[in-house]
Amino acid sequence: MASALALVLVILLASGEDPRDVSAWIRFAGIAFLASLIALSAALLLCRMRPLFLRLPAAAGVPLALLTVASLAFAETLAAAWAARELIPELGLNGRPVIPLALRAALLALLGAAVALRYFFVLERWRAGVESQARAEMEALQARIHPHFLFNTMNSIASLIAIDPERAERAVEDFSDLMRAALGRRASHSLGEELELVRRYLAIEQIRLGERLIVRMSVEEAPLELEIPALLIQPLVENAVLHGIQNRAEGGVVTIEARREGERLRILVSNPLPAKGNLVAGFGMAHENVRRRLELRYGRRASLRAREEAGYYACELSVPLT
């Protein structure tokens, strides 16, 4: 609508009208009102016809859309001109043929619609490209699995087969669910499903680390039905086990908290600080992975912050509930 008003103003200025002439501004107001009416009604009509356009190929849909806008502009200009002949003499329509005026309005509407359709086509192609790139990057980040976890899990399962077959079977099932989530096509799932994957991951690591790994999980106040990116919390928990528990002879406590705070979900994962010199290669990769996926999904509406305090390393996630 703003573009239509700008076009009318340009035409008026280019026509050589005296800006001090009041009747010129009355004509501008009348034409601007008509242009706004055409733009608004054309937009509404095209929106109502959208299901039809989606079924048609572009070679047929674009000409039909342009013809629709031009026909609407012709009909509305014709009706407005006939009505304004006697109501608004300042428009100067008395004695002037109305059909050529309506044809000029239809031509201008046709050109404006063609420019608008081209703009929206380019915008849609750009948006589709950005979404495709973001989706590919999200899938690549989601499928990134640390080899050490694969090897450690298989070794743990192998060691259990002879002494505790039932526990080995449960570990295989947990491992299968983790692989299905990591390699699957689902870009998101519920918070409850994510926390279940975390529990399965920790059950596998419990086999290997035994009593050295203590887990404290507090998720009773969390909105478990909330959709979040798949494998958003599990990499942070894996990072906590790898860097905060595995290299400590005495082990330690991994704390996982999730709760609603107003219109946001707050998730906290903390672990003991690793001893200096005991950092495993790849420290920080999980954080960057999660941070990038948050950016792709939520933009600036989500955040990941890390801090050190009282001998613990904590990662705090904050995502919107809507």
Q: Which CATH class is domain 143-320?
A: alpha beta
Q: For the chain, percent helix, then strand, then coil, each to nearest 5? A: 65, 15, 20
Q: What is the pLDDT of residue 107?
A: 81
- Give the whole-number percent of the chain exceeding pLDDT 70: 72
- How far apart (Å, rounded) are the C-alpha atoms in residues 282 and 279? 9
Q: What is the pLDDT of residue 322?
A: 81
Residues of the chain with CATH 3.30.565.10: 143-320
Read off the pLDDT of each residue in 59-81 and give the average, rounded to a whole number: 80
CA distances from 6 to 24, 31, 98 (A): 16, 11, 23
CA distances from 198 to 43, 101, 161, 238 (A): 49, 70, 23, 9
pTM recorded for the entire structure: 0.57
More confident residue, 279 or 42: 42
Split at pLDDT 50, 70, 90, the class of 90 is very low
Q: What is the pLDDT of residue 297?
A: 85
First to last CA, the chain: 31
Using the predicted structure, report yes or no on whether residue 246 has a pLDDT greater than 90.
Answer: no
- 6-20, 61-75, 209-223, 308-322: least confidently modelled range: 6-20
Q: What is the pLDDT of residue 225?
A: 94
Using the predicted structure, report yes or no on whether residue 276 has a pLDDT greater than 80.
Answer: no
* pLDDT, tens only, 115-172: 877 777 777 776 666 666 666 665 555 555 555 567 777 877 887 787 888 888 888 8
Smallest Cα–Cα separation from 222: which of 251, 259, 196? 259
Average pLDDT along the chain: 77
* pLDDT, tens only, 12-58: 544 555 555 555 555 556 666 677 777 788 888 878 888 887 787 87
Residues 197, 177 contacting (CB under 8 angstroms): yes
